[in-house]
């Protein structure tokens, strides 16, 4: 309750954070109540209703296959957030202990791991993503695993940088003098103080994962039809844009924009709340 009481005044002072929370609530509602909120089947094609503009029957119109765009956007929220959150969670679970170990134990293994991270991050994201998806297959979980591989070095570097700073602090020396083991020092003393940058990065990384998921699907290296996915929907309507069929790509594109904006705003809010100097000023 105390944390909730401190959060409410913050939201009143920061409308951007409140807007991010509202957008997140709408996405959660779309995930939980997708069958109730959708008006048509998200995967059922109707050639007789192909490329119909927005109307009372089809609120956002239909695509070239006659599938209802509104219903597909609602159900695509599940797919995009499932992939993005799963990928970031896996990257966090892998990157945090890796960064902790290579930051605490410096040596050949640590140097080799850093060079491996340099190698992974030297590739253009889409090129590496396309290569990995083509090898593993265009399945939802494969896309999530590929994104996790791309994000793991980022979390490992964040934790390693914090560990390198914390391991020389006086309270760590005091812990060593008291007989604490390396395991105890790493997980009881260093890790709780090193997690803040990674926690802040989680929200931003989810937005990045949404963009990458949509981008991979847009170029044909992500989720396959007829699975509802925002980037795939934008791609299917891109060819009709020149013919004046704007609704097929516009509405899923707006969904991407609002979802990424949501996590960007929440990332800024988490950063402010985790910064003690900001809390003191407020």
Q: Determine whether 208 is exposed, middle or buried from the number of CB atoms within 10 Å of its CB (0-12, 13-18, 19+).
A: buried
Angle at Cα 59 formed by Cα 215 and Cα 39, nearest 5°?
Answer: 90
The Cβ of residue 127 has, within 10 Å, a number of other Cβ atoms equal to 10
Distance from C-alpha of 133 to C-alpha of 126, rounded to nearest angstrom? 10
Q: What is the pLDDT of residue 275?
A: 62
pLDDT at position 7, please? 65
Report yes or no: 172 and 185 within 8 Å, Cβ to Cβ: yes
pTM confidence score: 0.85
- For residue 35, being part of any structural domain is answered with no
What are the backbone angles phi and psi of residue 263, rounded to the nearest 5°?
-75, -25
Local structure of residue 101 (DSSP, 8 states): H
Is 25 a domain residue? no
In this structure, is residue 53 part of a structural domain?
no
pLDDT tens digits, the chain, 282 residues: what are they?
335 556 666 667 778 878 888 899 999 999 999 889 888 888 888 888 888 889 898 889 888 888 999 999 999 998 899 889 999 999 999 999 999 988 888 778 888 888 888 888 887 777 877 777 777 777 778 888 888 988 999 999 999 988 888 887 888 778 778 877 878 888 888 888 888 888 888 988 998 999 888 888 888 777 777 888 898 888 888 888 877 888 888 999 999 999 999 988 888 887 777 665 554 445
Distance CA 69, CA 254 (A): 12
- Residue 149 counted as domain residue: yes
Identify the pLDDT of residue 89: 93
Query: Looking at residue 86, which CATH number applies to its domain?
Result: 1.10.3720.10
Answer whether residue 18 is part of any domain.
no
Find the domain containing 178 and state its range.
81-276
Q: N- to C-terminal Cα distance for the chain?
A: 19
Q: What is the 3-state secondary structure (H, E, C) of 206-228?
A: HHHHHHHHHHHHHCCCCCCCCCC
Residue 13 lies in a domain: no
Task: Specify if 185 maps to a domain.
Answer: yes
pLDDT given for residue 224 in this prediction: 79
| DSSP per-residue letters across 7-59 | HHHHHHH-HHHHHHHHHHHHHHHHHHSHHHH-SS-SS---GGGTTPPS-SSST
How many domains are there within the chain? 1
Instruction: Give the pLDDT confidence score for residue 88 in this predicted structure.
Output: 93
Q: Tell me, yes or no, whether 65 lies in a domain.
A: no
CB neighbour burial string for 167-196, b if at least 16 within 10 angstroms, e if fewer: beeeebeebeeeeeeeeebbeebbbeebbb
pLDDT value of residue 1:
38
């Amino acid at each position: 309750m105390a944390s909730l009481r401190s959060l409410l005044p913050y939201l009143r002072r920061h409308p951007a954070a409140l807007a991010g929370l509202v957008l997140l609530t709408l996405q959660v509602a779309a995930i939980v109540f997708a069958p109730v909120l959708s008006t048509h089947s998200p995967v059922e094609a109707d050639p007789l209703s192909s490329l119909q503009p927005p109307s009372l029957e089809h609120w956002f119109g239909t695509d070239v296959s006659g599938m209802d765009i509104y219903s597909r956007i609602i159900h695509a929220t599940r797919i995009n957030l499932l992939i993005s959150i799963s990928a970031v969670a896996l990257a966090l679970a892998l990157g945090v202990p890796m960064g902790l170990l290579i930051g605490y134990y410096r040596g050949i293994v640590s140097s080799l791991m850093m060079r491996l991270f340099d190698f992974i991050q030297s590739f253009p994201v889409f090129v590496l993503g396309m290569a990995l998806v083509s090898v593993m297959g265009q399945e939802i979980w494969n896309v999530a695993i590929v994104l996790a591989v791309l994000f793991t070095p980022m979390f490992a570097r964040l934790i390693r940088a914090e560990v390198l700073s914390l391991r020389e602090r006086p309270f760590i020396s005091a812990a060593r003098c008291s007989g604490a083991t390396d395991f105890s020092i790493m997980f009881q003393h260093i890790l709780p103080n090193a997690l803040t940058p990674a926690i802040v990065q989680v929200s931003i990384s989810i937005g990045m994962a949404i963009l990458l998921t949509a981008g991979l699907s847009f170029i044909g290296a992500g989720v396959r039809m007829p699975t509802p996915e925002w980037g795939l929907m934008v791609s299917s309507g891109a060819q009709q844009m020149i013919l004046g069929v704007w609704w097929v790509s516009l509405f899923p594109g707006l969904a991407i924009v609002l979802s990424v904006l949501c996590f960007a705003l929440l990332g800024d809010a988490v950063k402010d709340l985790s910064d003690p100097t900001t809390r003191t000023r407020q």
